[in-house]
Chains A and B, each alone.
Chain A
C-alpha cells in the first residue's frame, strides 16, 4: 500500500532490561500497528552513532511483550512516495508514549545491531520477501521496538517499512 521511513534523531539510549517497560525518550522508537488488521513489513533498519567518545551499544530490535499505550510521538514517520495515500488510521511510531512505553520481549529478538556509537553504523536490509512482519495490535505480534540492551549510545537512524 504505502512505504514509510520512520526515523529518530540524536536519541541517547538508556539501557532497558528485557520485559521492562521502556521509558519515554530513552530508546530510538517503537513501531505499532494502527488497527487490528494492519500488516507492516519492515525491510531495513539503519543506526548511525553520534557519540564523541567510544560507547559500545547493543541495540536490539525485538517484538514487544507489552505494548505501548497511548499515542506515540517524537520521531518522524514519512511516506517515501508522496503520491501514496496514508490509511485512515495510520500505524504509530515514536519513542514517547502518552500513557506507557513498550517492553522488549525477552525471547522474541529479531535483530541484533550492536555498534560503537562513536561514529559507528549498523545496518540491516532484508531480502525481498523476507521482511519482518508486524501485524495488528496484540502482544508479541503487533509491535516491534528498537532499544538498547547494554550501553548508552547516542544515535540517529531510520526504519524502512511498508504498510501492506
Chain B
C-alpha cells in the first residue's frame, strides 16, 4: 500500500539530461532524470536528488516545499511570502497607478 506523506513534495515537474549521444567515457553519467519542484518563495527550480537523505523543508505558511536557501531564511525567523504574492502586490500597485479614477476627493 502506498502511503503519501507531506515529507516529500508531490505533483512534480520533470528534469532530464541525456548525454548518451556524446560518447562519454565509461563511468560518466550519461542519462539523468529527476523530479523537480519550484520553490514557492523564490521560484528557483529544485531538482530532487534521489541520494538526498535530509528532509525537504515544507513552509507552514504556504504549505509548499521551498528551496534550502529560503528554508534557511525561514528558520532564521523570516516570514512566508510567496513569489505569487509578491507579483500580485506589484500588479495591484501597477494597476492602481494606471487605471484612471472617477472619484473626486475633496
Please list the residues of chain A having a beta carbon within 8 angstroms of any beta carbon in chain B: 36-37, 39, 49, 54, 108-111, 113-116, 118-127, 130-133, 135-136, 141
Excluding A54-B22, A127-B36, 12 further A-B contacts by CB distance (< 8 Å) are: A37-B91, A49-B22, A54-B23, A54-B24, A110-B43, A115-B19, A120-B19, A123-B17, A124-B15, A127-B13, A130-B13, A135-B90
**Given A37-B94, A127-B13, A127-B37: A119 in contact with B21 (beta carbons within 8 A):** yes
Would you call A130 and B38 a contact (CB within 8 A)? Answer: yes
Would you call A118 and B45 a contact (CB within 8 A)? Answer: no
Q: How far is the CA of A49 from the CA of B95 in the complex (A)?
A: 42
Any A CB within 8 A of the CB of B12: yes
Would you call A111 and B45 a contact (CB within 8 A)? Answer: yes
Main secondary structure of the interface of B (DSSP, over half): mixed
Most buried by A among B12, B21, B38, B98: B38
A51 to chain B, nearest CB (A): 9
Would you call B17 and A115 a contact (CB within 8 A)? Answer: yes
B21 to chain A, nearest CB (A): 3
B49 to chain A, nearest CB (A): 13
Q: How far is the CA of A120 from the CA of B20 in the complex (A)?
A: 7
Would you call A123 and B16 a contact (CB within 8 A)? Answer: yes
Any A CB within 8 A of the CB of B11: yes
Contacts of B76 in A (CB 8 A): none
Q: Would you list 20 pairs from A and B whose C-beta atoms are within 8 A, ordered by A residue?
A: A36-B94, A39-B87, A54-B22, A115-B17, A116-B22, A118-B21, A118-B23, A119-B19, A120-B19, A120-B22, A123-B15, A124-B13, A124-B36, A125-B14, A125-B15, A127-B12, A133-B43, A133-B83, A135-B90, A135-B91
